[in-house]
Chains A and B, each alone.
Chain A
Amino acid sequence: SQQGEEDPQALSIQEGENATMNCSYKTSINNLQWYRQNSGRGLVHLILIRSNEREKHSGRLRVTLDTSKKSSSLLITASRAADTASYFCATDYNNAGNMLTFGGGTRLMVKP
């Protein structure tokens, strides 16, 4: 079974708009990570937020973490067509070996 659940499962927006994806998880975590996957390719790490952090920024990405609600959100600002991909949250809950548990992903389509 998968630890995280992303919402929405699919998102379609126009270029220039912001995209927000949410992730909920079930157990206590050490950190939460977001990955991106282009169709048919491997996953690429985007950002990591530790359990004692509430917000983190990286370029056009903003991640928030609410451990009381066991949820996280990924905001992509000023989206581009090249941002079209699937986005996955992954939780590290045992801190023993970076054994990440992934959610089902949000499929983002950015229309030019």
Chain B
Amino acid sequence: DTGVSQDPRHKITKRGQNVTFRCDPISEHNRLYWYRQTLGQGPEFLTYFQNEAQLEKSRLLSDRFSAERPKGSFSTLEIQRTEQGDSAMYLCASSFSLAIGELFFGEGSRLTVL
């Protein structure tokens, strides 16, 4: 069991550039979640997928954000035209729908927008 993996772990970009993060969940997990965490705060829910279907999106997910999970396995989170306010840790988590309980988190992708 390799756990949830995220790539890249760190990304520094200039304002206005596009960035993409990838998440590989635990293989048998059919649910995948994206959260955003700013310094000193708790994670905030962005969106989640069950298999390839995106079932819920937070109002935090502006038009510049898009998430996909094309084959129900890995997921990507793209931020277009980045702003300094997008600087945060982007956390991915996965779970199995028939199990009420814990989310398994990756180590996160830290984004710094200059």
Contacts of A4 in B (CB 8 A): 42
What is the CB-to-nearest-CB distance from A106 to chain B, in angstroms, rounded to a whole number? 10
Report which of A33, A40, A45, A101 forms a contact with B104, defined as CB distance below 8 A. Answer: A45
B41 lies within 8 A of A48 (CB): no
Tell me, in angstroms, the Cα distance from A2 to B43 when the chains sit together.
9
Tell me, in angstroms, the Cα distance from A2 to B42 when the chains sit together.
8
> Max chain A CB contacts within 10 Å: which of B45, B48, B107?
B45
A104 lies within 8 A of B102 (CB): no
Query: Quick check: is A41 within 8 A (CB to CB) of the other chain?
Result: yes
Enumerate chain A interface residues (CB-CB to B < 8 A). 2, 4, 30-31, 33, 35, 40-45, 48, 88, 92, 95-105
B56 lies within 8 A of A97 (CB): yes
A104 lies within 8 A of B107 (CB): no
Query: Quick check: is B103 within 8 A (CB to CB) of the other chain?
Result: yes
Query: What are 30 residue pairs bridging A and B, where the CB atoms are less than 8 Å apart in the complex?
Result: A2-B41, A2-B42, A4-B42, A40-B108, A42-B4, A42-B105, A42-B106, A42-B107, A42-B108, A45-B101, A45-B102, A48-B101, A48-B102, A95-B100, A97-B56, A98-B31, A98-B33, A98-B100, A98-B101, A98-B103, A99-B45, A99-B48, A99-B56, A100-B45, A100-B103, A101-B45, A102-B35, A102-B42, A104-B41, A105-B41
Contacts of B104 in A (CB 8 A): 45
A-B contact count (CB 8 A): 67
A33 lies within 8 A of B102 (CB): yes
Query: Quick check: is B79 within 8 A (CB to CB) of the other chain?
Result: no
Tell me, in angstroms, the Cα distance from A42 to B103 when the chains sit together.
11
Contacts of B56 in A (CB 8 A): 96-97, 99
B31 lies within 8 A of A88 (CB): no
B91 lies within 8 A of A43 (CB): yes
A99 lies within 8 A of B33 (CB): yes
Contacts of A104 in B (CB 8 A): 40-42
Query: Quick check: is B95 within 8 A (CB to CB) of the other chain?
Result: yes
